[in-house]
Structure 1
Amino acid sequence: MRKVANNPGIYRKCTKTCPEKGCKVHSGYVVYIDMGANADGKRIQYTKAPFKTLQDAKDHRVEVLLKHGMGAFVYDRKRTVAEYLDEWLPTLAATGRRPATVANYTTLAKTYLRPYLGHLKLTELEAGHVRKAYADIRAAKPKLSPTTIKRVNAVLCAALTQAMEDKLVERNVAQKLRLASADNPKIIPWTPAEFAAFMDPIKAKRLYPLLYVAGIHGLRRGELCGLRWSDVNLEDGYLKVNQQAVQVGREIVVGPPKTDAGAGRIVDLDADTVTLLKRHRIAQRADRMAHGSAWQDSDNRVFTAEAGAPWQPERVSKTFSRYVRASNVPTLHFHGLRHFSASIQLEAGVPLEVISKRHGHSSVAITADVYGHLSRNLGAESAEKTAALLRKVAGESSLVLS
């Protein structure tokens, strides 16, 4: 007999001795179930055969498990993957996932999982089906990055994990798939001169203060859009990141920061930033008075669009990109300002652990992985400082071979 792949407790029954390279002739399927031990400690094995088809064997196995209370599986042969996704996705918000995460999961499921796996029965889904689906997706969209495939698989894995907890499936076939390594493109941030050249022509723009704080202090886009004056202490020179504003479709949703490490973190402000924000607050108050009752900001945001309307995160990115195209600096996406902030802090000699806390990373290791490549001169500078220390201690040439 041979074990049937991905079907625990089911074997193929042979009419002849198995050839060395595998069975050739079969007369059906056999079900084996470990029923535990009796009073004497002897294992009890349930066996039933033969079954003409694999599905008959699977059905019988589940019936036995149900009968003996060994696995209360809701064995619905009609429910498809698409139907289960439609049931599961609306429940995500109640599990504590952030609105942006729910929206992202929904989009990935609708774009990739439903079209390529939705027609399959949930109980019959196998790892081979998933691998083929991902291959078909890559064939249809050659430019799709491995990162996207990993995100799609993460959604499927989360869905099947819940299905296991709900006793709808016996295993998670997406959990141990080998996927192509995710791409990790290294962002080359602007130099300080490029940042200055970009910022100088837009000083009169409404978005200028937000972009300045993004570049100097590295706050995320959503954190900047959600920042309130109650989170800012200009007297003592710091701000506190308590919330973020994310865009879900056309709706702006305010919630906790992206990471637990980023929530409630204190970001110290330099004197120039304090001066800029004081001037910005004065200008904003004048704008508020000019609009009177038409002023829209009820949350007292630091950065507001026209008539106090909250900045939409996507609009911030699009406006930034438009300014970049009109300038003579290298192309950079909005998130690149966060990288620029890290790079100038590294150049200034700020310790990595301080940058990690200011940027809201959960560990210094993440900061090193993301930003460790940014400063092109740090390695050479470190080498020279090390050599200078050795020369000071051991003499100018005592350690150098002539």
Structure 2
Amino acid sequence: MSVRKREWTTPKGQKKSAWVADYTDQQGKRHLKTFKLKKEADAFAATASVEIREGTHVADSASVTVEKAGQFWLTSGEAAGLERSTINQRKRHLKFHIEPLIGQTLLSKLTVPAVRDFEDRLRWEGRSPAMIKKVLGSLGSILSDAQERGLTVRNPAREMRARRKGDKRHEGRHRARLRVGEDIPTREEIKALVGVLSGRWRPLLLVAIFAGLRSSELRGLRWQDVDLEGRTISVRQRADEFGEIGRPKSEAGERSIPVPPMVINALKEWKLGYSRPVIGRDEDRNPIREDAKPNHLIFANGNGKVESHANIVNRGLVPTMIAAGVTVDTGERDQEGKPILKAKYTGLHALRHFYASWLINRQADGGLGLPLKVVQERMGHSSITMTADTYGHLFPRGDDADELAAAEASLLGA
């Protein structure tokens, strides 16, 4: 490895100079790499020398672009059998966020400062903080795949994240806590919601409220997964966004959940009434339904197929919220001058958050008062850390004034 100065004169007579790192890689191939400043060439020479000794050096001529590495990454995911929704998300991140900004950058030129600049450009172009975090995660995954293929030595996206985790300046940063009345429906709001539930949405939303099932789990629930006598619901499968049935995402997702009598009664009524596919019409055009079978989806659409998430939210949850008065003012007025209201909570996950809070709250406050480990199991979280990070702040504190006074009296015999 040598660093030397190169000088030349252009056809127009202008004198130029640059610094050249001249070296032979671990395969015995000679390379020349040009730099404007000597310190840049020296820094490269020092790093490349170590990489060559370790057999990990990748020259620019042997590198590929971020776009090409991204295509390899997609291929790896498909070969690994990742879900279609995951592959589609990867494609969106690559096509709309990564390729337009750094797609033609060679992996060998991708450094921590370059990734930081990419992050800044995402922010300047209006991507949300959540989207930026996801895209950087995808970039880190692309580089990890490229490392395994021998296309790059470093993963600057992961290096940047590791530095931030160890930087004390970021210790005060944390994810915003879920708040009752903002992210989690209150007891009064749930009472109002339950009070107006009717028709096909009544059993579905009651299961969402009092069993905490995810949308995919609700849409994949079968009659054989419900023990009406034992009053439990078992999660054994789910339906993805394309309506394809598969196993829960994690082993912890497979679980049995005890449910209150109201849920069981609603399911019994639904099973006797309208949960089965229509297979014909009688002389008066009334629907003839197929006899209930164990493998029938409980909350299927009219054709007996997987119901869409959008229908559940837009035709079930949102209208029910509005009917229950669980709304917020949009600040707009209709033609009669009346305020235009919208549903306060527009996602099924709000009901799942309520279920978690119901499990956690003290019995005196209308909850079940369950310990953290049981809450984790009921929610189907893969780790207790996930449960604690998301809902830990909802657990009752053990140092309330009244409890401290009682402990003091017990200790001192007062």
Q: Give the TM-score taking structure 1 as reference length.
A: 0.74
CA distance in 2, matches of 1:337, 1:289: 33
User: Who is 2:128 aligned against?
Assistant: 144
Q: Which of 149, 161, 182 does residue 166 from structure 1 map onto?
A: 149
Q: For residue 125 of structure 1, what is the aligned residue in structure 2? A: 110
Aligned with 1:154: secondary structure? helix
User: Structure 1 vs Structure 2: percent identity of aligned residues?
Assistant: 26
Per-residue CA shift, 1:247-271, capped at 9, x if unaligned? 1xxx222222233321x21112222
Q: 1:215 aligns with which of 198, 209, 220?
A: 209
Q: Does 1:321 align with 2:318?
A: yes
Which stretches in structure 2 are left out of the alignment for 5+ residues?
7-16, 165-169, 281-286, 328-343, 362-366
Q: 1:359 to 1:385 in 2, by over 3 A?
A: same
1:73-103 Cα distance to aligned partner (Å, 9 max, x none): 6975584322332342143132243333222
> Contact between 2:214 and 2:352, CA under 8 Å: does it hold in 1?
yes
Separation in structure 2 between the aligned mates of residue 373 and residue 71 of structure 1, nearest angstrom: 46
1:335 maps to 2:332: no
Q: Give the total of aligned pairs.
A: 355
Q: Which amino acid aligns with 1:373?
A: H
**Aligned AA (1:336):** A
CA distance in 2, matches of 1:168, 1:301: 47
Cα distance in 1 between the residues matched to 2:85 and 2:301: 22
Q: 1:132, 1:194 → 2: CA distance? A: 45
Q: Secondary structure at the match of 2:68?
A: helix
For 2:112 and 2:323, the matched residues in 1 are separated by 49
Q: Of the candidates 48, 72, 94, which is equivalent to residue 109 of structure 1?
A: 94
**1:330-379 Cα distance to aligned partner (Å, 9 max, x none):** 5123211111011122222122221111001123332222112346xx33
Say which of 349, 373, 378 aligns to 1:358. 378
**Does structure 1 conserve the Cα–Cα contact (< 8 Å) formed by 2:252 and 2:382?**
yes
Q: Of the candidates 373, 384, 387, which is equivalent to residue 402 of structure 2?
A: 384
Q: CA RMSD in A?
A: 4.0
Q: What is the identity, as a one-letter code, of the residue corresponding to 1:281?
A: K
Cα separation, 2, equivalents of 1:82 and 1:187: 41
SS in 2 for 1:111: helix
* 8 Å Cα contact 1:150-1:182 kept in structure 2: no
Task: Sort the Cα spacing of 1:345 and 1:381 in 2 relative to 1 into closer, same or farther, 3 A.
Answer: farther
CA separation in 1, counterparts of 2:412 and 2:234? Answer: 48
Deviations 1:172-198 (A, max 9, x none): 121111468674352431222211212
Q: Deviations over 1:204-234 (max 9, x none)?
A: 2x22211111111111111111111122222
Aligned to 2:120: 135
Three-state SS of the structure 2 residue aligned to 1:379 is coil
TM norm structure 2: 0.72
1:367 partner letter:
T
User: 28, 38, 44: which is aligned to 2:20?
Assistant: 28
1:257 partnered with 2:248? yes
Q: Which runs of 5+ in 1 are unaligned?
A: 1-9, 16-24, 36-45
Check conservation: 1:218, 1:337, Cα contact below 8 A.
yes
Q: Is the 8 A contact 1:246 1:253 kept in 2?
A: yes
Please point out which of 258, 278, 283 is paired with 1:268. 258
Q: Distance in 2 between matches of 1:158 and 1:112?
A: 14
How far is 1:277 from its partner?
Answer: 1.3
Paired amino acid for 2:78: A
**Offset at 1:200?**
2.0
* Letter of the structure 1 residue corresponding to residue 391 of structure 2: Y
Residue 176 of structure 2 corresponds to residue 184 of structure 1: yes
Is 1:372–2:363 an aligned residue pair?
Answer: no
Residue pair 1:227, 1:302 contacting (<8 A) in 2 also: yes
Amino acid at match of 1:201: V
Residue of structure 2 aligned with 1:277, choices 256, 267, 275: 267
SS in 1 for 2:234: strand
- Please say if residues 277 and 302 of structure 2, whose CA atoms lie closer than 8 Å, have aligned partners that are also in contact: no
Q: How far apart are the structure 2 equivalents of 1:196 and 1:308?
A: 31
1:80 paired with 2:94, answer: no
Deviation at 1:158, TM superposition (A): 0.9
Paired AA for residue 229 in structure 1: W
Give, in whole Å, the separation in 2 of the partners of 1:335 and 1:357.
17
Is the 8 Å Cα contact of residues 303 and 311 (structure 1) preserved in structure 2?
yes
Mapped partners of 2:259, 2:31: distance in 1: 75
Amino acid paired to 1:324: M
